[in-house]
Amino acid sequence: MYDVIVVGGGPAGLMASVAAAEHGARVLLVDKGDKLGRKLAISGGGRCNVTNRMPIPELIRHIPGNGKFLYSAFSVFNNEDIIRFFENLGIRLKEEDFGRMFPVTDSAKTVVRALVQKVKDLGVEIRVNAPVANVLYEEGRTTGVVPASGEKIRARNVIVAVGGKSVPQTGSTGDGYPWAEAAGHTITDLYPTEVPLTSNEPFIQARTLQGLSLRDVAVSVRDPKGKILITHRWDMIFTHFGLSGPAVLRASQFVVKALKKFKTDAIDVLIDALPDENEETVFQMLMKRIQQQPKKAVKNVWKGIVPERYLVFLLERMGIHPDATFHDLPKNKVRDLAHALKAFAVKVNGTLPIEKAFITGGGVSLKEIDPKTMASKLMPGLYFCGEILDIHGYTGGYNITAAFATGYTAGRAAAMR
């Protein structure tokens, strides 16, 4: 008989195990994979973006999927606690752009190894290659888990930390949702977030711009009524199926929601390649350059404004020959180009599937979870933490922070119970 069984050894489950053991509980951690922390090991481009050093209100703003629910958990264990936790384990961290924190080794393995060692040092019993088939509920309370192998394992508290449905090869295959439903919980609609966008535009299908990156652009999602739903300024890339890169990933959940809300097949994503200028100043700048060098080809006169491949692409789209000069160029074409540089519209028709998304949107409804303890309000002894909850943030350490914070909160509360 254990005090606490933690199901799932991702960041949420590992931190829940640490907190439960530190608070005196006899803990069993089970994972179906052969290794713990598999998704953590590939996060942040394999460097593990352990947390983000932004002030709490900013942090919450970067968790558009119910970030406010985390205020209580952050009062128990927040980003600064995560930084202290790893530094106490001897993992030196460094801050990069946008507050992102990484190990100085630039290797996620360092983080996973130290975290797993800490769990072991605290005396947590670990079983890998041990998939859980069910959580046991008897006489209105949680009594343990049923592994796929059959024999019941008893505990007064079970913490479900099995993650979402994204990147299933890391072990997150959505196993926890039916267990939550069996306890009476609601699962909100699941959808891919932080996911590349797909497009049927002929230039995408023809792979005209495949592999082209645009740095520091503003990417907006426009609904069918013409309203801008969100703008994110960062880098993006054209791929063989559509659009990707950090600005696009951040915008993706708004595309998913708008396609559903407006029951439409495609929606516009606008690319502003010159976000510090307005359309008029871009037009004036284009005009000034060709007036100053009237005999030179426009592709040379306007070189450097944006990457050459993108410039030539837009020139062709606007019906401007790249070798045209000032004298062959109607002014309205320059206006069209200025507009395209500021708001080139790409029709996107969806996203890659949830399995290819970085994060799963939706999950166990937060209305049925106590934010101070992550306990189920419906089934005594049952706790949820990490990505299985209806919480999702942008990439940049926000999801991992949410997983550590909810994991620690659940582990502590379960041990205290």
Ligand X SMILES: Cc1cc2nc3c(=O)[nH]c(=O)nc-3n(C[C@H](O)[C@H](O)[C@H](O)COP(=O)(O)OP(=O)(O)OC[C@H]3O[C@@H](n4cnc5c(N)ncnc54)[C@H](O)[C@@H]3O)c2cc1C
Binding site for ligand X (CB under 6 A): 7-13, 30-33, 38-40, 42-44, 49, 131-132, 161-163, 166-167, 170-173, 175, 358-359, 386-387, 395-400, 403
**Minimal distance in Å, beta carbon 25 to ligand X?**
19
Looking up tokens 């947590």 gives 124
Q: How far is the CB of 137 from ligand X (least distance, A)?
A: 16
CA 237 – CA 213 distance, rounded (Å): 4
For the bound state, the minimum distance from the C-beta of residue 355 to ligand X, rounded and expressed in Å, comes to 10
What is the nearest approach in angstroms of ligand X to the Cβ of residue 33? 4
- Cβ atoms within 10 Å of 158's Cβ, excluding its own: 30
Nearer to ligand X by Cβ, of 83 and 337: the residue is 83
What SS3 state is found at 95? Answer: strand
> Helix or strand or coil: residue 58?
helix
**E strand or H helix that includes residue 13:** helix 11-22
**Rounded to an integer, what distance in angstroms lies between the CA atom of residue 199 and that of residue 263?**
17
Shortest Å, Cβ 148 to ligand X: 8
Tell me the C-alpha distance between 313 and 203, whole Å: 9
- Residue 371 CB coordination number (10 Å): 16
If the CB atoms of residues 12 and 286 are measured against ligand X, the closer one turns out to be 12
In this complex, which beta carbon is closest to ligand X, that of residue 204 or of residue 403?
A: 403
Residue 100 vs 222, nearer CB to ligand X: 100
Pick between residue 44 and residue 337 the one whose CB is nearest to ligand X: 44
- Residue positions counted in the chain: 417
Cα 346–Cα 349–Cα 355 angle in degrees, nearest 5: 120
Helical (H) or strand (E) element with 233: strand 228-238
Residue closer to ligand X (CB basis): 79 or 395: 395
Provide, rounded to whole angstroms, the least separation between the CB of residue 369 and ligand X. 14
Q: CA torsion sign, 190 to 193 to 198 to 199?
A: positive
CB of residue 396 to ligand X, shortest distance in Å:
6
Q: Which CB sits closer to ligand X, 53 or 342?
A: 53
> Apex CA 94: angle with CA 90 and CA 95, to 5°?
145
Q: Alpha-carbon distance 279 to 337, whole Å? A: 10
Take residue 202 and report the two structure tokens written for it. Answer: 């002929």
Q: 256 or 273, CB closer to ligand X? A: 256
DSSP alpha helix (H) spans, 92-145: 108-121
Q: How far is the CB of 209 from ligand X (least distance, A)?
A: 24
